[in-house]
Structure 1
C-alpha cells in the first residue's frame, strides 16, 4: 500500500489567487478580481516539489509543511519517484517539474532525483556525468521561461557506505564504510600507521564495488560543484548541500572542504549552505518558501536538555548541534532570539548524562502558558527518546505542541516556524483576496476554512511523526524484522515476506495509533489564527481515516497518512486549560513549609469565561483561598496559589489538586471543571550533586561513562553511569560546594553488578575519616548511616566487585538525623 499516492492524487496544476501582501503573487487578474462566481481562493499559493525519493520524510512531509502554511504542494505522480532499488524516472520527473513550475509560485527540487532518479540512485554510477548534466539543463529551462520563479534546490554529499543488505553488494556495506574512513585518514591525512589495515580492508572488497563507489562519488562531487556555479549564475536562487550520514573521517570531509572553498571563491555564501541532513532538506526549503511568501520573520528561542548544543554532535552528523540548529533557522528565514516571547520555543533534546526532569518542567510550563513549543528530539537516532516521552506525555496533550520530531530537528523547526508564520500573518495582513461581490462574509469564511485546513495539516504531521518514530520504531519494528529473519528473508530488502511483514506492521501499529489519537489529540482545542476581524479556534474531533504501510520493501520506515478532523463549532470539554506549577516539588522531611505555587489558566476560546479556583489538599494542610475571576478570550493568566504543608515523613509523597469551575460569561452549555495537580515529595537534601555545586574526580573510566555522571541526579538511566575498566581497585572523590553536615551516603548501582568490598571516607578538617567499611555487599542501593560529620568531600574506595569494574549510577550524600542537619 502506497499512502503517498493518496496524498498527491488528483493535485491540480491550476494557479491559485494569492494573498495580496506578496508582490510576486500579484498580477492583472488579481487586480481586477476573479469572476464573481469564482469566490475566494482556497490556498495562498502553490509550490512545486521534487522530492529526493518516495519515503515519508522526503516526500510527504514537505507536502504537509506547505499545507500547514496555507499553501498547496504539487508533487510528481508517485510512480515516477521509484521505490528503493527501483530508481525514479529522472527524465519523466524533469518534464513534470518543467510543466508544474510554469503554474506554481515557487519550486523546491532534489537534484539527485532530477539527475539520477533519487537518493539511492545517486549512490551508484549507473548514470554518467554527461547524462546527469544534460538532465539538469531543465533548471536553466525553467529559469529562462520565468526568471522571477524562485527555485530552491538541494543535493547531498554522498554518505560513507552503500545500502546494507544481506545480498551482493550490500553485504559489503560494513567493509566499505571502514575502507572509506581509512582512505581519508591514510591518503588525505597521512596516518601511515593505519595503512596496513587500510590495504587489508580494501583487499576484502570486490574491485567492481570499489570502482562503482568511487565513480559515483566523483560524479556527485562534480554535480555539486555545478550546482554551486548555478547558484552563482542565478539559475538556482538558494542551494543546500546536505551531508548524508557524516562522521569524523571519510571522503566527504575533503569534498566538503573543496565545496566550501568554491562557495567562498564565487561569493555565494549567502545563498549556498552546507550542513548535515538529507531527508529533511525538502521540508526546510518548502518552509522557507512559505515563510517568505507570508512576509514574516518568526523568532526562535532554543533550550537544550542534557548537553548544551555547543558541546554535542548528534548521531550521523559532523558539526556541533547548536551550529546545525542555527543553520536550519537561518535557512528558514527565522531569527534566533532569547526573548521570553519568541514566536517559537525549540526544546532540543540532546543525549548525555543528567536528568531530563528540568527540561520537561520547562516544556510543561511553556505549553501551559500558551507558547508554541517545538520538541527537537535527536537524542536517540531516528526515534523519539522514550525517557522524554514517558516524562512529558503525562503533563501535556501532545496536540498542544508546535512539533515533535524524533527524525531530525529540521522537521520540528520547519513545522513550528511555518505554524508561527501563518498565525502571525493572519493577524497582520489579509490572507485571501476576493472580488468586490465576494468580499465580506464569504472571504472571512474562506480565511477561516484555510486556517482550519492548515491546522489540520499541522496536527496530521505531528501525529504521523509520532506514529512512525515512536510507536512503530519502538514497539513494532523489531517484530517486523524478526518476521523477515524467521522467513529466511532480508529485513533490509524483502524479497519473500513483504506482504506478511506489511500486514504485521499495519495490524500492530493501527491500534497503537488509534490509542495515541484518543489520548493525546481528540478533544484538544487548537488556536487557528485570525480571519482579519476575529481570532478563532477549533476542536480536534475525529480521526477520519488512517492509512498505514511499509514505505519500502524493508522494515525501517512506515508510511502514515491520517485524516484529522477539526470543528470550529464544537465547544471544548473544558473552556479553560489549567496547570498547577511546579508539576513536582521536593521538600525537606519533618518540617511544615509554605509553598508558593501558581495556577496557569489558559482560555482556549474566543469567549469570556468566568472561573472559580479552589484547591484540594491532604489532611492537615492549609489550602489556598478560593478565587473568582474572568478570563478574556484567549487570555493566559498566572494566579498565585499559596499552600501550607503538614509534616511529611521521608520519601512520603502527597498531591495538591487544583479545581477550576468555569462557564461562559454570556451563558452557553455547561462544561466540566478543569483539574490539575502537583506532587510534593519529602526527600533529604543531596549535597553530592553538580547542581548543588559538587564536583568529582576518579581513578579512571571506560568510554563515555565519566565520573561526572554519578552526581547528575539520574539514578536510573543506563546512559548516566560511571563505569570503569577492570582493575584491582578504583576510587571516586566528590568535592562539595562547601562544608556540609552528612550522616548518610547511598549508592545506586547497576543490578547484579554490585560493589562488594569498599570504604566510604569523609574529609574532615583536612583529614580523611572512614565513615563506612563494607565487606561482602550484595545490595544494589545500599544506604550507609553514621554519626554526622561536617565535611568538604567524600571518597569511595572500591577493592572488590563482581567483575572488577565499577558500574555506579549515583552517589547521594544527605544529613537526616543529627541536629547539624537543621
Structure 2
C-alpha cells in the first residue's frame, strides 16, 4: 500500500502543476528555491481511511498549504490497530518543522478510532502516550496544536464473528442503560436486563471499560486546553441517538468546560471522521488572515426542525458549529462568500432547491452542496436533477452525508480566493511570493479542490449508489462476511474497481473535462485554468469490508482557453403555465465570462412556431463579467399536459456556440398542494410518513409519501385554502403496493359527496374525472390494498372543464 505522503505529498507539490494542452507536461518551474506552498501542517489522522487521512491533506492543499502525515503502515487497518508509539514519535520528529499541527487524540492514545472502542489500552498507557502533547508544545510554545477526541459511539464493530455479532444488542443495551439507570424509566428495566443477559459479560465489561477510560481522557484533554497545551479542541460525538451513555458524558464534559472557562476553544458536537478536515481548514483560514462568510439555505425541512441520522442535535445547530469552527461567520447577505445549499430529508420536492443551486452557480457564486438527506450516500434524487443542470466541477463542494467536508472545502477555497494577491509565504522569515509563484500556488490549490470533488462523488455517489450492494452480495454469496472479508476480499476488491472505474471515467468526461476554473489573482491579474484530463485513477477497497472505496485521482489542468469561454444558463429552467391562450414569460439568460479575455457574442432565441421571441442581441463581456439578458417570450396556445422548449444560443466570435433551454409545460392548477394553501390530515401515519407528504408536490421520492398504520380502512383528508372548482383527482401510488379499493368524496356546502371510486384498481397513477363541484376539501377512504397499509406519494386535485374552472 502506498503511503499517504507518497500519494498526496507528491500530488500537492508536483502533479498539480498546470499543463500545456494537449500534452500533460509540467509548466516551467518557478525561481530556484521558491516556496511551493503557504505553509506546512503536520497531521496525525484518526485512521487510514480517506475521510480521516486523505481529505485533510487535500483540504490543506486546496488552501495553498502542504500537509504531512505519518507512514500509512503506522496507522493500522480496520481491526488491526495503529502503532500509537510510532505515530507519536513521527509527530515528535516532524512537528518542529511544521507551522501548525492537527492531531487525532485517539490515534496517539490507542491506535485509531476502532481501537478506541475497546479496552486493549489501559488508562495509564493512554495518558503516558499523550504526554507527547506537552513535549511538542514545550519545544515550540507558539506553534498551534489543534486536536480532537471522540465521545464513544453506542456500539461495537458490526461483524458476523465474535464479538461483532453482538453489535445490535450492545446498541440497544446502551440506550436502555441511560433510560433506566440515569433517567429512571423503570418500565424499561425488564427489557434492559433481558438485553444485558443476552450479551456475554466480557463484551459488556470491555465496552464499559473503554467508555470510562475514554471519558477520563476527554476530561484530561479539556484540562490540557485550559493549560494551553492544546490551542483548540473538539470533542466529536460519534454515531449516537437520543439516549445512551454519551448523553450524560456530554453533560459532564460541558460542565467541566464551563467550570474552566474554555468554551471559546473547546467544542462538543457530532462528528468523528470529519474533524481532521474541519480543524485543518480552520488552520488554513486563520493563516490566510481572512473572514469568509457563509449563507445557508435548506432543501426541504429547515435545519432547525431536522436531525440527521445518527446525530443528536438539530442539523441547523451542527451547521452553525461547523461554520464557527472554520473561522467563518454565518450571514443572510446575498453576496456571502459561500452559499451552502443543505439537502435535508422530509416532505417536499427538490426542483426549487436545484433551481437555486443552478442559478447561483450560473451567476458565478461559490456554492457548496451539503447532502445529508440520505444516510451514507449522495441523494440519488438530487443527483438526477442537478447534474443535467450544471457541471459538478463548478461547485465549491458536494459531499454525500457529510456537510462538514463540503463546508471545509468551500470555506477554504473562498478564503484562498479572498486572500488573492495578498498571498504571503506563511509565517517566519520567508519573503512574500512573487506573482508567478502565487499563480502556481493557486493552480495547485484548484487541482486539490477538483480532486476532492472527484473523490467524494466517486465514493459516496457512484460507488455507494451503484456498486456497493453488488460487492456486499458477492461476499455473502461466497460465504464471507461483507463487514470483514477474509475469504474473497481480493475478488470483491476487483469487482468494486472494475464496476466503479468506467462510471468514474464517464463522470469525469461529463462533469469535469473542459470546464474552466477561476483560480484567483496573483496580485496582478485574475487567472483561469481549464480541466484537461484525468491522468490516473487509483481505486481500491481500503478496509476488508464493502462500505468504503478509496479513491485517488490525478487531474491535469491547462492554461489553454476553454472551448466554450462563456457559461450560459436560461432561468428559470422550468416554467409551468395553465393550458389555453398564450402566456407572457419573463426569462433571463445569464452569461458568465470565465476567461481573462474580452468576449464578443450574439444572443439569439428560438421557440416553437407561433411563439413570440426577441431578435438577436449583440453583447460584449469583459473578463470574468456576469451579464443578465432579459428574454421576453410569449407562448402560443398550449394543450393540456403538453410541453415545449425555449432555447437561447450564444455565439461568441471565433469560439464554439453554447446553448441553454427552459422547458415550458402546460399543467392544470393543483389546488391540493400545500404550497397553494392546502392542509392534510389522516387516520394515522407510519413512522415519519405523515399526511402532509401527500400534498407536497413530490410524486417520486420514497422519502415523500404518506404511509398509514397497518389495518384498513384508512383515510386521508385534504382541505383547500378556500372553495375550489374540482373535476379531476389523480393518485400517485407506490408501484407494487397499489390501492385496490377506495372512494373519493368532496366536501360541498358542508356535505360529503362521493365523486369517484375504484374496485380492484391496477393503475399506478389512476386519474378520476367527474362533474365539476365547488369543494372545500377532499377525502380518500381506502378499504383495500396489497398489505393492509396505504402508501401514497401524492393526491392531486384539478379543474379541467372549459368554462367551469374560472
TM-score by length of 2: 0.96
Task: Indicate yes or no: 2:446 matched with 1:460.
Answer: no
Aligned match of 1:814:
798
Q: How far apart in 2 are the matches of 1:752 and 1:80? A: 51
Structure 1 equivalent of residue 18 of structure 2 = none
* DSSP-derived class of the 1:470 partner: helix
Given the superposition, is the C-alpha separation of residues 486 and 657 from structure 1 closer, same or farther in structure 2, using an over 3 Å criterion? same
Matched, 1:702 2:696: no
- Indicate conservation of the 8 Å contact 2:173/2:196, yes or no: yes
Contact 1:39 1:438 in 2 (8 A): no
| Map of 2:512 onto structure 1 | 521
Partner of 2:20: none
Residues 378, 438 of structure 1: CA spacing in aligned structure 2 closer, same or farther, 3 A cutoff?
Answer: closer
Please give the alpha-carbon distance, in whole angstroms, between the structure 1 residues aligned to 2:767 and 2:12: 70
Q: Which moved more, 1:4-13 or 1:191-200?
A: 4-13
- 1:431 corresponds, among 398, 401, 424, to 424
Q: CA deviation at 1:3?
A: 6.9
Confirm or deny that 1:220 pairs with 2:214. yes
Name the count of aligned residue pairs: 790
Which residue of structure 2 lines up, in the alignment, with residue 28 of structure 1?
none
- 2:697 alignment partner, SS class: coil
Give how far 1:204 is off: 1.2
Residue 642 of structure 2: aligned partner: 652
Distance of 1:238 and 1:436 partners within structure 2: 25
Instruction: Supply the distance in 2 between the matched residues of 1:456 and 1:37 (Cα, whole angstroms).
Output: 21
Equivalent positions of 1:190-205 (< 5 A) are 190-205=184-199
Deviates more, 1:808-817 or 1:790-799: 790-799
Deviation at 1:438, TM superposition (A): 9.9
Please say if 1:496 is aligned against 2:492.
Answer: no
| 2:584 alignment partner in structure 1 | 594
Assess if the C-alpha contact under 8 Å between 2:40 and 2:99 holds in 1: yes
Secondary structure of the 1:212 match is helix
Deviation at 1:267, TM superposition (A): 0.6
Is the CA contact (8 Å cut-off) linking 1:40 and 1:432 kept in structure 2? no
Alpha-carbon distance between aligned partners in 1 of 2:111 and 2:785, rounded to the nearest angstrom: 58
* Residue from 484, 494, 508 that aligns with 2:475: 484
The whole-number CA distance in structure 1 between the counterparts of 2:31 and 2:712 is: 88
The separation in 2 between residues aligned to 1:407 and 1:748, in whole angstroms, is: 29
Question: Structure 1 residues 275-284 or 547-556, which shifts more?
Answer: 547-556
Alignment of 1:99 onto 2:97: no
What does 1:342-491 correspond to in 2, within 5 Å?
Answer: 342-427=336-421, 429-432=422-425, 443-491=434-482
Equivalent residue number for residue 57 of structure 1: 51
Match of 1:7 in 2: 7
2:174 to 164, 173, 180: 180
* Cα separation, 2, equivalents of 1:5 and 1:101: 15
For residue 434 of structure 2, give the secondary structure of its aligned residue in structure 1.
Answer: helix
The DSSP-based 3-state class of the residue aligned with 1:517 is helix
Q: CA deviation at 1:751?
A: 2.3
Cα–Cα, structure 1 residues 734 and 563, in superposed 2: closer, same or farther, change >3 Å?
same
**Is 1:534–2:525 an aligned residue pair?**
yes
**Contact residue 3 and residue 561 of structure 1 kept, 8 A:** no
Alpha-carbon distance change, 232 to 498 in structure 1, aligned in 2, over 3 angstroms: same
CA shift at 1:727, angstroms? Answer: 2.9
- 3-state SS in 2 of match to 1:672: coil
Query: 1:434 Cα shift?
Result: 13
Distance 1:483 1:12, change over 3 A: closer
The aligned counterpart of 2:24 is: none
Shift of 1:804: 3.1
Q: Residue 746 in 1 paired to residue 730 in 2?
A: yes
**Hey, what's the Cα distance between the residues in 2 that align with 1:437 and 1:411?**
31
Report if the CA contact (8 A) 1:40-1:434 is conserved.
no
1:777 is displaced (CA, Å) by: 3.0
Query: In the aligned structure 2, how far is the partner of 1:48 from the partner of 1:434?
Result: 15
Following TM superposition, by how much is the alpha carbon of 1:712 offset from its aligned partner in structure 2, in angstroms? 0.3
Distance 2:481 2:757 in 1: 55
Answer whether contact 2:44 2:91 (CA < 8 A) is retained.
Answer: yes
Kindly indicate whether residue 786 of structure 2 is the aligned counterpart of residue 798 of structure 1.
no
Task: Mark the CA change 1:267 to 1:433 in structure 2 (over 3 Å): closer, same or farther.
Answer: closer
Q: Are 2:258 and 1:258 aligned?
A: no
The separation in 1 between residues aligned to 2:726 and 2:428, in whole angstroms, is 78
Distance 2:141 2:305 in 1: 43
- Paired with 2:163 and 2:493, the residues of 1 have a C-alpha distance of 25
Q: Which residue of 1 aligns with 2:704?
A: 720
Offset of 1:95 from its aligned partner? 1.1
Equivalent residues in 2 for 1:237-252 (5 A)? 237-252=231-246
The answer to whether the 8 A contact 1:434-1:443 is kept is no
Q: Distance in 2 between matches of 1:3 and 1:233?
A: 35
CA contact (8 A) 2:39 2:426 kept: no
Q: 1:270 to 1:378 in 2, by over 3 A?
A: same
1:554 corresponding residue in structure 2: 545
Quick check: 2:11–2:554 contact (8 Å CA) kept in 1? no
- In the other structure, the counterpart of 1:122 is 116
Task: Report the CA distance shift for 1:777/1:402 in structure 2 as closer, same or farther (over 3 A).
Answer: same
Q: Distance in 1 between matches of 2:487 and 2:598?
A: 61
User: Separation in 1 of the partners of 2:407 and 2:429?
Assistant: 38
Q: Secondary structure at the match of 1:758?
A: strand
Deviation at 1:805, TM superposition (A): 2.4
CA contact (8 A) 1:276 1:318 kept: yes
Where does structure 2 lack aligned partners over 5 or more consecutive residues? 14-29
The CA distance in 1 between the partners of 2:651 and 2:801, in whole Å, is: 44
1:40 counterpart residue number:
34
Partner residue of 1:33? Answer: none
Aligned position for 1:22: none
Distance in 2, matches of 1:706 and 1:12, equals: 49
Aligned-pair CA distance for 1:225? 0.2
Q: How far has the Cα of 1:744 moved from its partner? A: 1.2
Kindly report which structure 2 residues correspond to 1:61-76, keeping only aligned pairs within 5 A, or say none: 61-76=55-70
**Contact kept in structure 2, 1:658 and 1:675, CA below 8 Å:** yes
Aligned partners of 2:713 and 2:784 also within 8 Å: yes
Question: Displacement of 1:580 after TM fit?
Answer: 0.5
Q: CA RMSD in A?
A: 2.0
User: Deviation per CA, 1:90-149, whole angstroms, max 9, x where unpaired?
Assistant: 111111111211011110000000011111110111111111111111111111111110
SS in 1 for 2:467: helix
- Name the residue aligned to 1:17: none
Residues 791 and 104 (structure 1), Cα distance of their counterparts in 2 relative to 1, 3 Å cut: same
Give the whole-Å Cα distance in 2 for the aligned partners of 1:473 and 1:773: 43
Is 1:606 aligned with 2:578? no
CA deviation profile, 1:478-521 (whole Å, cap 9, x unmatched): 12212222222211112121211111111111111111110000
- CA–CA distance in structure 2, aligned partners of residues 388 and 623 of structure 1: 32
